[in-house]
Structure 1
Amino acid sequence: IHCRPPPAIANGDFFSSNREYFQYGVVVTYRCKLGERGKKLFDLVGEASIRCTSKDNRAGIWSGPPPQCIVPNKCTPPDVKNGIRVSENRSLFSLNEVVRFRCQAGFVMKGPSSVRCQAQNKWEPGLPSCSRVCQPPPEILHGKHALRDKDNFSPGQEVFYSCEPGYDLIGAASLHCTPQGDWSPAVPKCAVKSCADFLDQLPNGHVLLPLNLQLGAEVSFVCDEGYYLRGEKILTCKRSGDKVYWNYDLPKCEMVKCEYPVLENGRLVSGIKEKFYYQAVVLFECLKGFYLHGSNPVFCGENSTWEPEMPTCIKGTNFIIFCLGFFFKSLFLTLNISDTE
């Protein structure tokens, strides 16, 4: 393992047993240049010696930065990453001179905004730092986040999102400002609340569903032939406070069944059964001394009622039927006499 040649420094040089090859463990020492007759011109600031070492046991690196040779009672310009020196830009600053800083746009300062030159090229108090800041977090439709009155946020700060009543938060409820100046994780959304889905289809019927079951959605129910709907035909998704619900219970499709047809002063003559289901047909006749008024036959309709309306038996003789009967009877006798002759 060996290292590259050590870094050169202004107004100084390094000394080593070999200036071309620097194997692992070799130490080089820096010294500042001297003036005439060995007069001291510069102060050595920093560690005078650095060592060739390694972090991965393969490539060699120097143990630290080289020192600097500085004019006595002078300071080199201080440098702050992502910062700007407000003071005059010079190559050297004299003892007790003050330098002021401000941060670039999108960064916030931590520490003192001004520092003073001290002996040994030191600035006191310590140099500030400029950390990236986050802009206000994104706004979301039908929702909001806390700390809406702040203009910028430091890394690590967290904001929480919430939705208006009737909306659900989809995604992370909180975001934090990262050191890179953005928000993580992704911004959430507020989606309209949805009522519970109809996991089971309507037995003996079917459900007419809209595109979604969000607030205000309407669902219709239709029963198969031979069944009728017990309950509401249309359900609507409603809201109460922060909860959504269907405004009625789920209806049911029940088999169409009519009651036993009872005709006062009459009786069934056809279609007699114990139970009467959809489209069952029955025929009536009236007792002697009564005549039938209304529809005959009738059938069990989809609303579990007899259709058309049940007939009635009226006391007496229907004059029209009587006349027709007399007419056909007379016609029958006339035809018989003609045949005899």
Structure 2
Amino acid sequence: MPHSAPLILALLCLLLPVGGNKAKGATQPGPCASWREESTTVNLANQTCQRKCRHDRDCLGRRQCLCDGACGLSCVIPGRSCSWPVKVENAKTHLVQDTHSFGALMEVTCQTGFIMGAGQGAALSRCQGDRRWSLTPPCRRDLSLASCGPPPDIDHGFHHGASYRAGQEVQYQCKRGYQLEGVDTLQCQENQEWSGPAPVCRSMFCPPPQAVAKGYLVAVKKAQYRAGEVIYYLCKRGLLMDGSNRVMCLQNGTWSPQPFCRARCEVPAKRSRVLYQGMKLWVQEIPEGLVQHGETVSFYCRNHNQTCSYLASTRCFDGVLPLPVCYNEPTWLQYTLYPKRVVSEIQSC
């Protein structure tokens, strides 16, 4: 087909790619961040955006309109390089390709025992148009792996807590008779060291206990008593102990509350019955005519019209039983000649 040869040659010329660099004015191919409205340089986090553009003709000199990451289409010099080598804390770096010019990628890999914020061990960084590498998450110690050695032991005390991983705590406590000085809690830190020195357990003592009025102290006499030691008190016969007879030397060097020996009370009514322990009794019917400390006795009082009686109560406190203001003790003559008219014997109101 001699006549078809020129047509075939023409088609081949159209299909063959054009060699050489990108022609001036061509747009940057591929996806890129949305085009910026600003016409000047803009600062982003860790990146300075160059002049915005749509085409190479928008740029001056050797600059071309290229995609510059978050800055979008910008006027940059393709041959510009970022610094190399790069040191990243707790990480290793290497170039993905053998170049560190604009657009090159650097892989940042965390060292053993470290991870990035999202839990990954590596990330890519890109050489930007401002000749800086894009930010990657910092490599922090992997707390799930870091742990401390056993916490220090202390004399006369112990610690609680079985896990020694980073972020975990142990708590110290002293044995009875000792008081803790210092911080009672230590924490395992990211550097696999405990947060501070261990506390100290100091011996605690109490001075000799005070005597109790109308009572006895049951204890070995000493110049001082160790915390946790116990002594006992007894009251003299006929007295009631108010409080615990057992007193302990506390961790702060003081004694627990001491008891009191309280006296019984004499009922000050001779010619009238009273209400005691739920029974209406003559005073002579109460053993020894005495009631215990803290007990209540009710006396009979006349109403204003002197026609009936009502009860008024009072309480014994350490030997004193005050009479109600309304109570009037019958005279001997009233009690002897008219016993049925005594206040406790008339009808109740």
| TM-score of the alignment, normalized to the shorter chain, above 0.5 | no
Question: What is the TM-score normalised by the length of structure 2?
Answer: 0.31
Higher strand share: 1
Question: What is the TM-score normalised by the length of structure 1?
Answer: 0.32
